[in-house]
Amino acid sequence: MSYIKEKFKAKADELGAEVKDLLKNHGTKKVGDVTVAQAYQGMRGITGLVTETSLLDANEGIRFRGYSIPELREHLPKAPGGAEPLPEGLFYLMLIGELPTEADVQNLSSVLGRRSHVPNHVFDAINALPIHTHPMTMLTVGVMALQTESVFAKAYAEGMNKKDYWSYMYEDTLNLIARLPRVAAYIYRRKYKNDQHIQPNGMLDWAANFAHMLGYEDEGFKELMRLYMVIHADHEGGNVSAHTTHLVGSALSDAYLSFAAGMNGLAGPLHGLANQEVIKWILDMKEELGGGVPTKEQIDAFVRKTLAEGKVVPGYGHAVLRKTDPRFTAQEEFAKKHLASDELVQIVWRVYETVPGILGDLGKVKNPWPNVDAHSGALLLHYGLKEYEFYTVLFGVSRALGVLASLCWDRALGLSLERPKSVTTEWMKEFVEGK
């Protein structure tokens, strides 16, 4: 057993004992109440899930095992000569609960490199789809085709003991994270670069190798990918992609089945697809208003037109956050350092000066501030990645780190099949009438 796997097992045994105690001594203690509105309106604010990897504060934003995004950027190991954190380090942190050393991260990078082989039938499955297929559909098809490689599913079919679930889930997790960049890059090169594929470079870290396979050798883009893969990785457990992965995993579906399900949720425009919607919206605005950076008045008018057409302003608002998303701020800082004069970036910043006031005045939007998706497209476009339909795939590759680390914890802690109670409106009516 590798030392990281042994360490995970030791941590899981320790926490498992604490959870057992918690359940034995406090299992009947109430965490909260549920209102009629919450049942209809997306269960906002109901504490009904346990996710170890990260925790979201409405004002402060996400913390991964207690570390905020600025703290991660400071403390996680970097690539030689680089300034951004390596995503392998964040995965280690989410899995083990401790900051990794440089050696831990190097070890994980090479383990992922060694496990990255993707069998040909996965590429064949992707090739069977028409070229106009959305890249997120290609991604889930690719992940589903990879499911043939699940060691968890194989061991289950052979009658594995429930004590070993965590171990096979751990193996599936590392294998899937190792293979995802290859699958994603294959989709990109097939759809947009005439099927001219680029072989992996085993000397590079996980994110830099992904950039390389996509066809981007600029060191700035590699740094952006490292940051991007870190900030999109996890956002506690209730968001659609994390919750779906967890829910499907609770049926003892393997990592491939569970992650593919989560990716179908990420592909929705109110969740991960918002990053492509933002850049589409900005490019539409540019086209309508002509060249240059639009004035605040012009942006104001365009936002009001968007709202009048019954659409949301993409990249703004959040179900839980109530302040500017620190993932937006991290990207803003990256842009200030590396590409402050970029026109699209300046538009993103001017939109930021304009939109919160308008959404705030509507009175109904609970969070008028930008989320992670408001900034990412402008950065990617700067380095030449203009095919915005691909942006959610990048989000998905990153999201694998968090939701799969969580899936390992789910199986290690023996979490149950998820099955909340549902009722009909008839039942609700009778309930409120006190019948």
Q: CB of residue 72 vs ligand AMX: minimum separation in angstroms?
A: 19
Active site residue 164: no
Binding residues for ligand AMX restricted to 246-285, rule: CB under 6 A: 270-272, 274
- 246-260: buried (b, 16+ CB within 10 Å) or exposed (e) per residue? bbbbbebbbbbbbbb
Indicate which single residue of 318, 375, 382, 399 sits in contact with ligand AMX (rule: CB under 6 A): 318
Binding residues for ligand AMX restricted to 168-187, rule: CB under 6 A: none
d(CA 165, CA 404): 14
C-beta of residue 268 within 8 angstroms of C-beta of residue 430: no
Q: CB of residue 56 vs ligand AMX: minimum separation in angstroms?
A: 12
Question: Given the complex with ligand AMX, which of 15 and 49 has the nearer CB atom?
Answer: 49
Binding residues for ligand AMX restricted to 357-396, rule: CB under 6 A: 359, 364-367, 371-373
Coil, helix or strand at residue 385: coil
Active site residue 318: yes
Q: CB of residue 241 vs ligand AMX: minimum separation in angstroms?
A: 8
Q: CB of residue 109 vs ligand AMX: minimum separation in angstroms?
A: 27
Active site residue 121: no
Going residue by residue from 289 to 308, which x/- string records binding to ligand AMX, judged by CB under 6 A? Answer: ------------------x-
Question: Given the complex with ligand AMX, which of 97 and 368 has the nearer CB atom?
Answer: 368
For 77, list phi and psi in degrees, rounded to 5. Answer: -55, 150
313 binds ligand AMX (CB under 6 A): yes
Indicate which single residue of 61, 89, 238, 315 sits in contact with ligand AMX (rule: CB under 6 A): 315
Question: Given the complex with ligand AMX, which of 307 and 413 has the nearer CB atom?
Answer: 307
Q: For residue 20, give the H/E element and its range.
A: helix 3-26
d(CA 8, CA 100): 13
Catalytic residue among 212, 243, 246, 318: 318
CA 34 to chain centre: 28
DSSP state for residue 275 in the 8-state scheme = H
Question: Given the complex with ligand AMX, which of 355 and 405 has the nearer CB atom?
Answer: 355
Catalytic residue among 232, 271, 375, 382: 271
Q: CB of residue 158 vs ligand AMX: minimum separation in angstroms?
A: 38
Going residue by residue from 207 to 246, which x/- string records binding to ligand AMX, judged by CB under 6 A? Answer: --------------------------------x-------
Tell me the CA end-to-end span of the chain in Å, nearest whole number: 58
Q: CB of residue 323 vs ligand AMX: minimum separation in angstroms?
A: 13
Question: Given the complex with ligand AMX, which of 167 and 239 has the nearer CB atom?
Answer: 239
Q: CB of residue 50 vs ligand AMX: minimum separation in angstroms?
A: 21
CA 96 to chain centre: 19
Question: Given the complex with ligand AMX, which of 61 and 314 has the nearer CB atom?
Answer: 314
Q: What is the DSSP string of 181-250?
A: HHHHHHHHHHHHSTT------TTS-HHHHHHHHHT---HHHHHHHHHHHHHTS---S-SHHHHHHHHHHT
Q: CB of residue 59 vs ligand AMX: minimum separation in angstroms?
A: 15
163 binds ligand AMX (CB under 6 A): no
Nearest residue to ligand AMX, scored by beta-carbon proximity: 317
Pairing status of strand 54-57 against strand 61-64: antiparallel
C-beta of residue 246 within 8 angstroms of C-beta of residue 229: no
Burial of 354 (0-12, 13-18, 19+ CB in 10 A): buried
Q: CB of residue 334 vs ligand AMX: minimum separation in angstroms?
A: 18
Q: What residues contact 169, with CB distance under 8 A and at least 6 apart? A: 152, 254, 255, 407, 408, 410, 411, 412
Burial of 317 (0-12, 13-18, 19+ CB in 10 A): buried
Count interface residues toward ligand AMX (CB under 6 A).
Answer: 22
Indicate which single residue of 314, 356, 396, 402 sits in contact with ligand AMX (rule: CB under 6 A): 314
319 binds ligand AMX (CB under 6 A): yes
d(CA 209, CA 3): 24
Q: Which window, 70-78, 81-89, 125-133, 309-317, contacts ligand AMX (CB under 6 A)?
A: 309-317
Indicate which single residue of 216, 302, 316, 369 sits in contact with ligand AMX (rule: CB under 6 A): 316
Q: What residues contact 154, with CB distance under 8 A and at least 6 apart? A: none
Q: Which residues pair with 78 in a beta bridge?
A: 85
Q: Which residues bind ligand AMX (CB under 6 A)?
A: 239, 270-272, 274, 307, 312-319, 359, 364-367, 371-373
Catalytic residue positions? 271, 318, 373
